[in-house]
A and B are shown apart, each in its own frame.
Chain A
Amino acid sequence: MKRRDFIKKTAMISSSLYLPGLLGMAQAPKGDLVVKVEGESPYEITKRAVKELGGMEKFISKQDIVMVKPNIGWNREVEQAACTNPDVVRAIVEMALNAGAKKVIVMDNPCHKAEDTYSRSGIKEAAQKAGAEVRFPDENRLVVHDFKGQRVTQWPVFKDFLDVDKVINVPILKHHGSAGLTIAMKNLYGILGGNRGKLHRDMAQGIADLAYSFKPRLNIVDAYRILLRNGPIGGRVSDVELKKTVIASTNIMEADVVAVNVFGSAPEQYDFIRAAFERKMGQMDISKINLKTIKI
């Protein structure tokens, strides 16, 4: 064996040992992992998605106070798909508590009356059963926070979201009249108080500003039931489609892009995705996203 051959062969053999890794590096994009899990039970697919990301322990330290921020915006039932699936919330609360969180709080600033939306959506019951504190938004706890964005600069925010150690963003994927879709980035409007309606002008920039400045530790998109039309409030069960999917990622924009893909449309056509892309928050092309799809 010539020296050259030897070197070639050793290189080949040794590289073949690392082949899966090398191939992965060569073919799949390098960005943050986005996990998409499909399956029958919303509870199970949520657990699986977080497990694939590395488990809740990776994101939550012991004794952390964790805020779970679902979309509890509307006085609607689960079947109407206007609020996050309670089973998804329950799975996350359980995982966070098992990972050693000191306290898990579930809170949103809804559009309808909080007492109604919390209970009708089923989230109050599910979260309390799992051991979380369900907290109503309290206007006395609003503080002005500087988001330093183009559109959103200083705005009142519920202190609860700033005080906690980790925030887990748990939106539902659904149609939205003015934004086109509301997913993880838009869900952050729920931490705001004040005259939020004003932020519907130039909404795409507002959404991107918020997501750029306020970074949840983890984003878990509930796409189990999605609202295809007449969102964000919906109401007709005929507008709802079962997708039985959950998407999880630490990258809020890429989670949105994958969710848009699940919805069945192109990410480029949404202003808020483009606005986030301009801020270099992630990839807009789904083929460039480090996506892992699992079916159970």
Chain B
Amino acid sequence: MKAKTGKHFQKARIMAQVVFTFLFFYLLLSAGRAGAGAESFTYTDYFFYFDPLLLLLNFIATSKILPLFLLSLVPLALTFVLGRFFCGWVCPFGAVNQFFSWIFKKSKKEKKGVDKKLLKLKYIMLILVVVSALMGAHYGGWLDPFSLLTRSVTTIVNPSVNYLLEESLKKGAKDEGIVAKGLKPFYNFSRKNLLTVKQRAYHQTFIIGGIFFLLLFLNLYKRRFFCNYLCPLGALYGLAARFSLFNLKTDEKCISCKACARNCTYKGSPFEDYLKSDCVVCFNCVGDCPTDAIAASLKVPKKENRAAVDIDLGRRKIMGSIVFGLCLGALPKIASPVRSRLHRFLRPPGSVPEKEFLKKCIRCGECMQICPTNFIQPALFETGMEGVWTPVLNAQTGYCEYTCNKCTRVCPTKAIAPLELKEKQKFKMGVAVVDRNRCYTYADGYNCAVCEEHCPIPEKAIRFREVPTWNFEGKQVNVKQVYVVPDLCTGCGICENVCPRTDAPGILMSAEEEQREELTF
């Protein structure tokens, strides 16, 4: 292939990255803007189906194959031909990292040459997530690029952009003053087209955001840091790419100027340190070569060449990572909450039983993005060590909308099983419990019943009875005291959400009578 065609390929690669990244963000963000209606279907989850790592981990953990994930065998098979093209051309998080590496390029803090030691790290990561999945613990979602990006955009990027935009234009909402009048058209436009009606809020913005921005800033240290050194999916593709037909080679025109190493994503070059397992087929080297000396070709690699050009983790490191992975898999399973019958957290409607849930959930946060009321939140340690970033319900930030079943539709791994709207309206996430020490109708002796008003169950799962009682003034009065009908209550949490108390709710949802745990033992 000629260098000129190589340059075209470089441009095509950048175009592909822009297109796929745009598509990814468009699908994800359109999910967040949609209302509760089940009729507006979204395709946000489709990116995940092209992720062979998730297919593998899910198969290992649950010994079942998710049919739609078989789509991921397509890019995996193509890798045997084209090398790690997926990382270079398709992966949106790869594109984000590449973009930041490009921005940080001028800082020139990077050292030259391939860091082979660090490149091994991603294989260790792959071994860790695979081995711990064998033990039923699913850490893949922490590092899987799709999960990581979706989670970060959902809980950090999207809400902060919304906040910054709204905060800077907020004055335009008011009618008095020159500033307000000047900002008003911009405010009205963004209110109509961009801003969410209600600013979303998530737990752990500091932790998830901190990790996300750290990963972006690590590109300052080494370009495409995450992709080269941490990404387990990259490692999986790297293993396949060793056997790929795609090859880059310098020919006799080479003047040993090392220009090809200048923009290489892993800082190798076809001239020296060419690593098939790390080349993401970006064509930067071909574009940079002043003498058109780099030839790309598709041919079956010779066996003796393979060992020389690839990274060997070594038996010790492999064994060490396996043992470490086993520990990682076992440790959360012997933590004390696992032995306890009690748990204080609730899962979204349709969630499978907890043990299975932890094996299936990839912590991607799709459900959090799609939830129209901001009800679903990423957990920290409430669900145990391995449950970090799994979805839990929080009635302080939202409630489960009666006419919505969207979260059951987007879960890529079906940790939240798909439910028809009718099924979801009957699905018991938990049960509301009245805290009689706090509820106004008991503690202070006056009428309130805001929870009763909001209860969406047509037969009313929250009712009240008129009871003579002593009020806070010491007088005997008839008060409409609220009570819950557990058989009807689904634990949607709107009662807790609307309870007017400002210290702690007088009625709260609890995991009592959770439908998904009925048959677990």
Contact = CB atoms under 8 A, between A and B. Distances in A.
B301 interface: no
A200 B480 CA distance: 12
B458 interface: yes
Contacts of A236: 458-459
A267 interface: no
B37 interface: yes
Interface in B17-45: 35-37
Contact of B174 (A139, A140, A200, A202): A140
A230 interface: yes
Interface stretch (B65-73, B265-273, B496-504): B496-504
Nearest to B463: A177
A34 interface: no
Given A115-B197, A140-B173, A233 B456 contact: yes
Given A115-B35, A159-B175, A233 B401 contact: no
A140 B173 CA distance: 6
Given A75-B402, A116-B403, A197-B448, A230 B37 contact: no
A234 interface: yes
A34 B35 CA distance: 39
Interface in B143-179: 166, 170, 173-175
B401 A112 contact: yes
B448 A176 contact: no
Contacts of A140: 166, 170, 173-174
A120 B403 contact: yes
Contacts of A112: 401
Interface residues of B, number: 37
Contact of B449 (A119, A195, A200): A200
Contacts of B460: 230
B249 interface: no
Interface string B441-468: 0000011111011111111100010000
A197 B450 contact: yes
Nearest to A115: B35
Contacts of A246: none
B262 to A, nearest CB: 50
Interface string A13-30: 000000000000000000
A75 B448 contact: no
B373 interface: yes
B440 interface: yes
Contact of B452 (A141, A177, A195): A177
B459 A177 contact: no
B447 A178 contact: yes
Contacts of B401: 75, 112-113, 116
Contacts of B480: 177-178
B75 interface: no
Contacts of B464: 177-178
Contacts of B453: 111, 176-178, 200, 232-233
A234 B458 contact: yes
A138 B454 contact: no
Contacts, number: 96
A256 B95 CA distance: 62
A202 B446 contact: yes
Contacts of A119: 35, 37
Interface in A192-218: 195-198, 200-203
Interface in A91-145: 111-116, 119-120, 136, 138-141
Given A115-B35, A141-B174, A235 B457 contact: yes
Given A111-B498, A176-B453, A178-B453, A163 B175 contact: yes
Interface string A152-171: 00000001000100000000
A239 interface: yes
A140 B480 CA distance: 35
Given A140-B173, A178-B480, A200-B448, A233 B454 contact: yes
B203 interface: no
Nearest to B455: A233
Nearest to B458: A235
Contacts of B452: 177-178
A6 to B, nearest CB: 67
Contacts of A201: 440, 446-448
Nearest to A139: B198
Contacts of A115: 35-36, 197, 372
Contacts of A197: 448, 450, 498-500
A161 to B, nearest CB: 13
Contact of A177 (B173, B174, B449): B449
A138 B191 contact: yes
Nearest to B460: A230
Contacts of B458: 230, 234-236, 239
Contact of A75 (B173, B403, B449): B403
A234 B454 CA distance: 9
A199 to B, nearest CB: 8
| The 3 A-B residue pairs with the shortest CB-CB distance in the complex, in nearest-first order | A197-B500, A235-B458, A140-B173
Interface of B: 35-37, 166, 170, 173-175, 191, 197-198, 372-373, 401-403, 440, 446-450, 452-460, 464, 480, 498-500, 502
27 contacts: A75-B402, A111-B498, A112-B401, A113-B36, A114-B197, A116-B36, A116-B401, A119-B37, A120-B37, A136-B197, A139-B198, A140-B170, A140-B174, A163-B175, A177-B449, A178-B447, A178-B448, A197-B448, A197-B498, A200-B447, A200-B449, A200-B450, A201-B448, A202-B446, A203-B447, A233-B453, A235-B458
Given A138-B173, A230-B458, 7 more contacts: A113-B36, A115-B36, A140-B166, A177-B449, A195-B502, A197-B448, A203-B447
